Amino acid sequence: MAAQSIPATEFMAAIRAAGVQDVVLVPDTHQRTLLDLLMAAEDIRTVHCSTEDEAIAVSAGLIIGGRRPLMQIQHAGLYACVNNLRGVGLDGRFPIVMLIGLLGRDPELAPREDGGSMVRLAEPLLETLGVPSRLLDGVDDLHYVSEAFDEAEAREGPVALLVGATTS
């Protein structure tokens, strides 16, 4: 089944239902409509970061402060922050939930079958690091947002949510 665009309003409802207080982001054009809603929201604070390494550190700091952040990045950023993800997220045992856009993915193909290496290797990279991931390929997958927070807290470590198609 092909990946379907998730409407930003429904994505926002899932984020609110998960109790997210802050979204720490390095802007991702794949999730532009969602980002527009997040930045306009008065009940969820957005924290803009320059790099994904910074986003991991800020997310960890917010968790220490008792907040519930969601880290939003693009797949290229996943590759860029592997060392901080390992050191802070895994070794530091921080329950960071990452929303990762698979920019450029062919929605007709499973990510592992995609022609672009950034998409094709994202899930295997997360598996190598021992980071559980869930693919958000349509509205029916939005239950994974709340579940990711529960899983991250239970395992005391990061969990990734991969956004399979551009948000609408």
- On whether residue 168 sits in a domain, the answer given is no
Look up residue 82 and give its amino acid. Answer: V
Identify whether 3 is part of a domain. Answer: no
Query: How far from chain centre, in Å, is Cα 157?
Result: 14
pLDDT (tens digit per residue) in 102-154 = 999 999 999 999 999 999 999 999 999 999 999 999 999 999 999 999 999 99
Q: What share of the chain is helix, strand, coil (3-state, %, to 5)?
A: 50, 15, 35
Whole-number pLDDT of residue 119: 97
Rounded Cα distance between 55 and 59, Å, is 6
Q: Is residue 156 part of a domain?
A: yes
Per-residue pLDDT averaged across 43-71, rounded? 98
- Residue identified by tokens 């939930």 is 97
pLDDT over 80 (residue 13): yes
Give the residues across from 100 on adjacent strands. 73, 162
Compute the distance between CA of residue 41 and CA of residue 27 in angstroms, rounded to an integer: 16
The predicted pLDDT at position 27 comes to 83
Does 2 fall in a domain?
no
The separation between the first and the last C-alpha atoms of the chain, rounded to the nearest angstrom, is 18
Q: Is 80 exposed, middle or buried (0-12, 13-18, 19+ CB in 10 A)?
A: middle
CATH number at 100 reads 3.40.50.970
Count of domains observed in the chain: 1
18-52 pLDDT, tens digit each: 999 999 999 878 889 999 999 999 999 999 999 99
Residue 74 has pLDDT above 80, yes or no: yes
pLDDT score, position 100 = 97
User: Whole-prediction pTM value?
Assistant: 0.97
- Establish if 96 belongs to a structural domain: yes
CB neighbour list of residue 44: distance below 8 Å, 6 or more residues apart: 15, 16, 20, 21, 22, 23, 38
CA dist list (Å): 102 to 55, 87, 99, 165: 18, 24, 10, 7
Q: CA-CA distance, 35 to 12, in Å (whole number)? A: 10
Give strand ranges (E) for 10-140.
Answer: 22-25, 45-48, 69-74, 97-101, 133-136
Residue 132, domain extent = 8-163
